[in-house]
């Protein structure tokens, strides 16, 4: 495949790891990265090592209080994490923000900007793909950001690693807009939804009818806890006693107390993960047949359970069986989010260059069902 | 996706099962099927039930003797099975050939033809995809058949379920020809290569470097043995003591003796399966890093081992891990060949309609590595 240039919106956990993983990928050149403080652009390719080193310990990921004024397209509250399902964000806890320059501006390649996203849009004709690595903003932030790109005349790939099912509908509402503008939008392309959604779609190929998809993830987060407080907060919103709003209003101390109550290991059942709608839109099964749950251990690096996808179905010759996909326990959440994100990005660019526009989920980029 | 019309070349095990599985698939309409005796065409959709019932026990799948004259593009000897890796062909043993009309002509929808393939080519403008379900012919039969379609002005999808690595090179040699003619050729799209190649490519997404892909299949064939003697013969060619030529020359009695020697269970190591070159061409790993083996039990329906793909690699953060994909033991070989074949066919039609031509392997139809 020809060279692909891409931009990263957001330089928190996902954005930083995506830049890092791209260094291992042929034909992928990161040319721009931004956060709400500034932007770095270099069409010869960003110096990723410098950017990561300069901004280490200087990530802008603070949540704003619910009462704080915000306007326009600037990110507001921590509301929906968009971390590909198993948490690669750094948002939510106000951690890692020190030094004179905040966020990406700490890099010598970056400069402050009043509207960093607009600066990316203005250079969109030289950017093949835009990875929206924007965690913990309100759940229509990604759709609204896509609107800005469309209005700004961008025609290329946009890709996110969002989790919540409801955001997919908001993107689908924009399908015509994307098609008119030549935008190929890939949604839910992290770990789950993303890698595991794709695995489910592929595992379904043995069957003529899929009756059950069970996705169960395990994440051990001890060494990554400080970087991933926002994800923990967002995951807490999936617990039966909480929702997005109540979880957002929790203090750090309250979150710590919840973690203590669970002895550091929090189990989730029947989460609102977009795997369901993404598999349904690809025709694999009904959204109701998809179950997502997981176990998060914030005090151990070892996964508390092996991440497993089980797809049960009926074969054309009348048998019922279950195909299984398992991730090795040594693969980190970050590896399972960012590898697939860039893999789907490449697939999206190929689609875009062939003139296929609109909204695609991971399962749409696999063999048809 | 819009309606897809497809033709099946060959009405042995794969062709018949592909027609049957397509009945369960939305938007897939079989409009033509042929063997060397005749052709059935109906653009309103073949009556698959009638065709299968009429030709049951009447499949033309006899091998011709090595000394028999043959010419042109008519199928000759049993040389290379093209069954998607775990054997869904009915060729090789001269079984199931009785009744007055041989092969597809037994169906009321079919009529004899001197050159059935040409009749398909002549109607190619109404056929979106052609599944080459042609088992046990010489290994350049599929490339030569593709040539005929290209020369005949066909522009659409061609898809095979071949196994042998060397055939991929022959198809790649025709890449320019395909691109000029608007042909999207999908090769190796059965079980292995095919479903399992795709699973390997997807499992690789956690890693920045894949060091080892191990594909190990299990097939229990008791109830399907009569239908799959050709596959057994072709599998024997993978044993260290045999090759394609010597296996072709074995009598039925000699094959039975080999099976007896192995107590009905034959193990294969380091087979020449195209998974290796298909993963290499997609950039996932070197062909040398791919190992394919399996266990065939012709006296039990139960699989002697669970079909498993193990992908070992290194993550961007320095860990080594193995991701695993397993097929449920109740899934038959036929289910694992024909579901994926039609799934890749759909993906191929989408590519073709977007103007992407040339040669694609299964891994090329998944997220990029």
**Nearest residue on chain B to A322, alpha-carbon basis:** B328
Total of domains in chain A:
2
Residue in B357, B202, B216 with CA at minimum distance from that of residue B295: B216
**Could you give the ipTM of this predicted complex?**
0.88
Whether B48 and B168 map to the same domain: the answer is yes
Whether B304 and B356 map to the same domain: the answer is no
User: Both tokens of residue B113?
Assistant: 């033809």
Residue numbers in A near B344 (CB within 8 A): 367
Cβ within 8 Å of residue B281, ≥6 positions away: B168, B172, B361, B363, B364
Task: Please judge whether B327 and A334 are an interchain contact, meaning their C-beta atoms are less than 8 angstroms apart.
Answer: no
CATH number at residue B116: 3.40.50.720
**Nearest residue on chain B to A19, alpha-carbon basis:** B316
Per-residue pLDDT of chain A (369 residues; tens, 9 = 90+): 579 999 999 998 889 999 999 999 989 999 999 998 999 999 999 999 999 999 886 655 444 433 333 333 333 333 333 333 333 333 333 334 444 457 899 999 999 999 999 999 999 999 999 999 986 567 788 999 999 999 999 999 999 998 888 889 999 999 999 999 999 999 999 999 999 999 999 999 999 999 999 999 999 988 777 777 777 888 888 898 998 788 888 998 999 999 999 999 999 999 988 999 999 999 999 999 999 999 999 999 999 999 999 999 999 999 999 999 999 999 999 999 999 999 999 999 999 999 999 999 999 999 999
Give pLDDT, residue B58.
61
pLDDT tens-place string over residues B17-43: 999 999 999 899 999 999 989 999 999
- Selecting among A62, A79, A119, A234, the annotated active-site residue is A234
Q: A229 CA to chain B: closest CA distance, Å?
A: 20
Whether A11 and A151 map to the same domain: the answer is yes
- Asked if B211 reaches chain A (Cβ–Cβ under 8 Å), the answer is no
CATH number at residue B199: 3.30.360
Give pLDDT, residue B48.
97
- Asked if A120 reaches chain B (Cβ–Cβ under 8 Å), the answer is no
Give pLDDT, residue B194.
96
Whether A217 and A104 map to the same domain: the answer is no
Cβ within 8 Å of residue A286, ≥6 positions away: A280
Do A64 and A97 meet the contact criterion of CB atoms below 8 Å apart?
A: no
Whether B145 and B24 map to the same domain: the answer is yes
Whether B106 and B184 map to the same domain: the answer is yes
Task: Please judge whether B328 and A322 are an interchain contact, meaning their C-beta atoms are less than 8 angstroms apart.
Answer: yes
User: Both tokens of residue A311?
Assistant: 């797809």
Task: Please judge whether A365 and B366 are an interchain contact, meaning their C-beta atoms are less than 8 angstroms apart.
Answer: yes
Give pLDDT, residue A1.
52
Whether A169 and A237 map to the same domain: the answer is no
Whether B147 and B224 map to the same domain: the answer is no
Residues 260-289 in A contacting B (C-alpha not used; CB under 8 Å):
283
Whether A169 and A275 map to the same domain: the answer is no
Pairing state of beta strands A358-360 and A184-186? parallel
Taking the C-alpha atoms of residue A306 and residue A139, their distance in angstroms, rounded to an integer, is 29
Whether A142 and A52 map to the same domain: the answer is yes
Whether B245 and B276 map to the same domain: the answer is yes
Taking the C-alpha atoms of residue B82 and residue B105, their distance in angstroms, rounded to an integer, is 23
Whether A185 and A284 map to the same domain: the answer is no
**Residue A231 belongs to domain spanning:** 195-330
Do B157 and A367 meet the contact criterion of CB atoms below 8 Å apart?
A: no
DSSP letters for A105-156: GGSTTEEE-S-HHHHHHHTGGG-SEEEE---SB-TTHHHHHHHHHHHTT--S
Taking the C-alpha atoms of residue A165 and residue A278, their distance in angstroms, rounded to an integer, is 8
Do B231 and B192 meet the contact criterion of CB atoms below 8 Å apart?
A: no
Virtual torsion, Cα A140, A29, A157, B317, nearest 10 deg: -50
Do B110 and B38 meet the contact criterion of CB atoms below 8 Å apart?
A: yes
Task: Please judge whether A205 and B351 are an interchain contact, meaning their C-beta atoms are less than 8 angstroms apart.
Answer: no
């Amino acid at each position: 495949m020809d060279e692909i240039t891409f931009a990263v919106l957001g330089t928190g956990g996902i954005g930083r790891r995506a830049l890092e993983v791209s260094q291992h990928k042929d034909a992928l050149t990161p040319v721009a990265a931004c956060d709400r403080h500034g932007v770095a652009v270099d069409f010869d390719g960003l110096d990723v090592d410098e950017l990561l080193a300069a901004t280490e310990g200087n990530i802008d990921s603070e949540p704003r209080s619910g009462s704080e004024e915000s306007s326009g397209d600037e990110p507001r509250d921590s509301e929906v994490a968009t971390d590909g399902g198993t948490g690669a964000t750094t948002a939510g806890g106000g951690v890692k923000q020190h030094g004179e320059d905040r966020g990406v501006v700490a890099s010598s390649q970056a400069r402050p900007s009043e509207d960093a996203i607009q600066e990316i849009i203005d250079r969109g004709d030289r950017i093949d793909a835009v990875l929206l690595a924007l965690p913990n903003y309100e759940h229509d932030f990604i759709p609204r950001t896509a609107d800005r790109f469309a209005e700004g005349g961008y025609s290329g790939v946009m890709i996110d690693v969002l989790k919540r099912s409801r955001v997919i509908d908001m993107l689908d509402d924009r399908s015509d807009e994307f098609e008119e503008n030549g935008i190929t939008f890939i949604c839910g392309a992290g770990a789950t939804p993303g890698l595991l959604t794709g695995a489910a779609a592929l595992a379904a190929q043995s069957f003529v009818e899929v009756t059950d998809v069970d996705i169960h993830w395990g994440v051990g987060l001890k060494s990554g806890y400080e970087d991933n407080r926002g994800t923990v907060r967002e995951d807490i919103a999936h617990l039966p006693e909480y929702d997005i709003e109540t979880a957002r209003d929790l203090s750090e101390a309250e979150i710590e107390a919840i973690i203590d109550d669970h002895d550091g290991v929090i189990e989730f059942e029947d989460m609102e993960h977009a795997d369901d709608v993404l598999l349904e839109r690809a025709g694999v099964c009904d959204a109701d047949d998809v179950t997502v749950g997981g176990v998060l251990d914030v005090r151990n690096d070892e996964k508390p359970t092996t991440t497993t996808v089980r797809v049960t179905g009926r074969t054309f010759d009348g048998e019922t069986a279950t195909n299984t996909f398992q991730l090795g326990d040594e693969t980190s959440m970050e590896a399972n989010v960012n590898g697939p994100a860039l893999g789907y990005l490449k697939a999206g660019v190929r689609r875009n260059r062939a003139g296929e526009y609109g909204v695609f989920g991971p399962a749409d980029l696999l063999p048809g069902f």
